[in-house]
Structure 1
Amino acid sequence: MDEAPEGPGGCEDAIGGAPAVTAPSRPRAQWRRRQIIDAATSVMEREGFHRTSMAAVAEAAGISVGLIYQYVENKEDLLQLVLLDVLEDFRAALPAATEGVEDPIERLDRVFDAYCTVIDRRYRALVLAYRETRTLAPQGRKLVMDAERGKLVPFVTAIEDAAARGTMEVEDPTLLAYTLVMSAHAWALKHWFLSERASLDEYRRHQLGLVLRATLTPAAREHYRYLL
């Protein structure tokens, strides 16, 4: 087990701005942080939050318990670290997917593709989020919920722009955006079943096609038939 402290000072990667005991160099800190997050996700998914111990996470990560406390203060902080890490993946991937794309339907296609790709890569952590977010303290839940709302923005913006251009007929862009988001979540929540019936791309195209067939105007259906 790695018992040695990783450097002097306060760790910049600690949760909620709380100073940690020591701080490694940034590249090493990022690598160690990823190691801890992956181990915590695996153990919490298998055991549940309440049965998970810091010792079990440390063993899964191949480090000492003391080293984990350089990054978090307690087990709830560790759960929050895992959940916010998943949401950070979405925050980084979604804007990048639509950068420079003017057509709103193309943007919707690309942002949904990026969203599903993150879901597929992090589906175990997403299942954990569904199961354990309620465990967080109110402040932690608010952080997660605010980040969740932020994920909707590129979906809603694309749908609103399409409606303004007359290519989609939508009563509530936010509800439609959430319909797409929840269909992506189903890939994680029912991964054992859906992954046996379709590839990720097949599933994504099927779900987006359902939404577009229900909302595109007749002229737009012809123009975007390659997405249907």
Structure 2
Amino acid sequence: MKKREVPASVKDERLIKKRRDQMIKGAVTLFKEKGFHRTTTREIAKAAGFSIGTLYEYIRKKEDVLYLVCDSIYDQVRDRMQQDIDTNQGSIESLKLAIAHYFRVMDEMQAEVLVMYQEAKSLSKDALPYVLKKEFEMVAMFESVILGCIETGELQLEKREVNLIAHNIYVQGQMWGFRRWALQKLYTLDEYIGLQTSLLLKGIHKEAIVEK
């Protein structure tokens, strides 16, 4: 699916990126505090450090800001996962490391991820499919790690099982972000990662049990 373009009257690509990064940072804070609909473009401009007139040189409407926020958050999560997840090793250890890294990214980016899921429903009909497609791309990273384990003989799973396990990992990472307020009263992040990984691996490979 082709990337959705947000028109800008400014032609300098470096300046567009700089201003939109400022805009996104300010908008995330505001959306978390007030929500998308209660936040005004004037407030976004102020939080970004420039005037409302300057803001409209880089977007056409407030919904463009929400799209840029969601697109940026997905890109940040994906880029960090691509840097640290080894899809070629084909070992249980690489799967455990992939899970741990993803959960830690979810912890560090909790505010951004919460905003994205709370406000994604307000995306336009043409923007929402593009943004959601990025979720499937990240789930596919876990599928690749699992498939690598199947190729090396470390796991024996059917395709439907691989897909569901990859989705389970993705959701379990998000759960820490959504319910950290409750879960951190019971577990540290490391304990949560260890327990979730152990439960997952016990279900798919009787010998692949994470050490407590």
Aligned residue for 1:94? Answer: 81
Would you say the 8 A contact 2:143–2:162 is kept in 1? yes
Seq. identity, %: 26
Q: For structure 1, which segment, 182-191 or 67-76, has the greater mean C-alpha deviation from structure 2 after superposition?
A: 67-76
1:185 to 174, 182, 190: 174
User: C-alpha separation between the residues in 2 aligned to 1:98 and 1:189?
Assistant: 23
**Aligned residues of 1:94 and 1:114 also touching (Cα < 8 A):** yes
Q: Deviations over 1:55-103 (max 9, x none)?
A: 1112222321222223222111111111111110122122221348513
TM-score (norm 2): 0.86
- Out of 178-187 and 30-39, give the one that drifted further: 30-39
Structure 2 match to 1:21: 9
2:90–2:151 contact (8 Å) kept in structure 1: no
SS in 1 for 2:184: helix
What TM-score, normalized to structure 1? 0.81
From the CA coordinates, give the structure whose radius of gyration is larger.
1
Residue type of the alignment partner of 1:20: A
Q: Is the 8 A contact 1:72 1:78 kept in 2?
A: yes
2:106/2:174 contact within 8 Å kept: yes
Which of 47, 52, 55 is the equivalent residue of 1:65? 52
Higher RCO, Cα 8 Å, sep 6+? 2
- Aligned equivalents of 2:192 and 2:170: distance in 1? 13
1:32 maps to a residue whose letter is R
1:102 counterpart SS class:
coil
Matched, 1:40 2:27: yes
Are 1:150 and 2:157 counterparts? Answer: no
Give the root-mean-square deviation of aligned CA atoms: 2.3
Q: Which sections of structure 2, spanning at least 5 residues, go unmatched? A: none
Q: Which runs of 5+ in 1 are unaligned?
A: 1-14
Match of 2:90 among 98, 103, 119: 103
SS at match of 2:60: coil
Q: Which moved more, 1:135-144 or 1:120-129?
A: 120-129
